[in-house]
Amino acid sequence: MQPDSVSAQRSRTLVAQLKRAQIYRDYEQAFRETTGMPITLRALEAFDLPHHGDPKENPFCALMAQSNHSCAACLQLQRRVEEEARLEPKTLKCFAGLCDSAVPVRVGDNLIAFLQTGQVLLHTPSKAEFAKTTRQILKFGTEVDLKRLEEAYFQSRVVNKKQHESILRLLTIFAQHLSTLSNQLLVQESTAESPQVAKARMFIADHQAEELSLAQVASAVNMSAFYFCKTFKKATGMTFTDYLARVRVEKVKNLLLNPHKRVSEAAYEAGFQSLSQFNRVFRRIAGESPTVHRERLHGAAAV
């Protein structure tokens, strides 16, 4: 039986708080310096390239991230890692033979986040393996300097099986520390957030796909619109309008994981009333257009 998960929004908030904690920053630095590997704490349903931009990012992976097709293959791997690492640490291999590992962070039965590392080989690479990888890259239609790519591939960090198992044990122990810290943050939040704000969050989550106004939500929690506006902003750090927009954008991202879902369909299902408004809001919150986001997930398929 799989553990329950906190909401994706709650997970993102917790991960942001945990990353600011000194214990996480100290561990992150020590892990990179000791292992020479990247590390990240990922929120649930954060289907992005977890190590892109990391100081210890594999140079081969950095080059691959520049292509939509190969990037899409990596994103699909991340989705599999999240699906299979919900109960225990899991290691999966990408098309190039590089391993990525995720360790679940839980509070009780609730899945909170993942500690993730990887982009390593568990054996010394060979010319034959790179040739096979090259054939797959060419099938993707990726335009890349193969000589430069080969040099980067053979710079990949190599760890043996025993070393890799030890690294996963370190992450598992640290995941337990983060679990304790997460529980403390959840308790603090539950005592700090008023029942009205908690009820408002639930109401918004249940009715996000509808035309929803501040007055409606305020009425649902028995508060005046003026007082609710002030209370909600103080509790969440966001206006009602911005909070609702972010909830809807995350819904769109989840819907677009389906390669057959059109951007316009996802937008209306999530509650946006016009495509022009949706495109503007999505770009502001996600930092890219919905079309580019979808292409990163599934390659250059038509939207």
98 and 81 within one domain: yes
Alpha-carbon span 17 to 24, nearest angstrom: 10
State the residue range of the domain holding 237: 195-298
235 and 173 within one domain: no
164 and 209 within one domain: no
Tokens 């990163």, residue? 296
131 and 31 within one domain: yes
Q: Which of 172, 189, 206 is the last residue of a domain?
A: 189
What pLDDT, on a 0 to 100 scale, did the predictor assign at position 300? 41
pLDDT at 302 over 60: no
Residue at 203: amino acid letter:
F
- 90: which strand partners? 102
With respect to residue 226, please indicate whether it lies within any of the assigned structural domains.
yes
Tokens 């679990």, residue? 179
Alpha-carbon span 94 to 136, nearest angstrom: 11
Q: How many domains, the chain? A: 2
Q: Which of 129, 162, 189 is the last residue of a domain?
A: 189
153 and 53 within one domain: yes
With respect to residue 105, please indicate whether it lies within any of the assigned structural domains.
yes
Compute the radius of gyration of the chain from its Cα atoms. 21
pLDDT per residue over 20-51, tens digit each? Answer: 989 899 999 999 999 999 999 999 888 778 88
With respect to residue 70, please indicate whether it lies within any of the assigned structural domains.
yes
- For position 247, which CATH number holds? 1.10.10.60
249 and 173 within one domain: no
Alpha-carbon span 73 to 84, nearest angstrom: 17
142 and 226 within one domain: no
pLDDT per residue over 179-236, tens digit each? Answer: 888 877 765 665 566 888 889 989 998 999 999 999 999 999 999 999 999 999 888 7
Q: Which of 147, 164, 189 is the last residue of a domain?
A: 189
With respect to residue 303, please indicate whether it lies within any of the assigned structural domains.
no
With respect to residue 40, please indicate whether it lies within any of the assigned structural domains.
yes
Do residues 100 and 81 touch, judged by C-beta distance below 8 A? Answer: yes
Question: Hey, what's the torsion of the CAs at 199, 232, 205, 182, to 10 degrees?
Answer: -80
Q: How many other C-beta atoms can be found within 10 angstroms of the C-beta atom of residue 209?
A: 13
Tokens 């942001």, residue? 16
88 and 201 within one domain: no
With respect to residue 48, please indicate whether it lies within any of the assigned structural domains.
yes
Structure token digits, residue 92: 């999966």
Question: Hey, what's the torsion of the CAs at 189, 190, 191, 193, to 10 degrees?
Answer: 70
70 and 162 within one domain: yes
220 and 205 within one domain: yes
pLDDT per residue over 68-89, tens digit each? Answer: 666 677 778 888 888 888 889 9
134 and 273 within one domain: no
Closest among 55, 168, 45, 61 to 115, alpha carbons compared: 168
With a threshold of 0.75, does the pTM exceed it?
Answer: no
222 and 143 within one domain: no
Structure token digits, residue 236: 């969440």
With respect to residue 67, please indicate whether it lies within any of the assigned structural domains.
yes
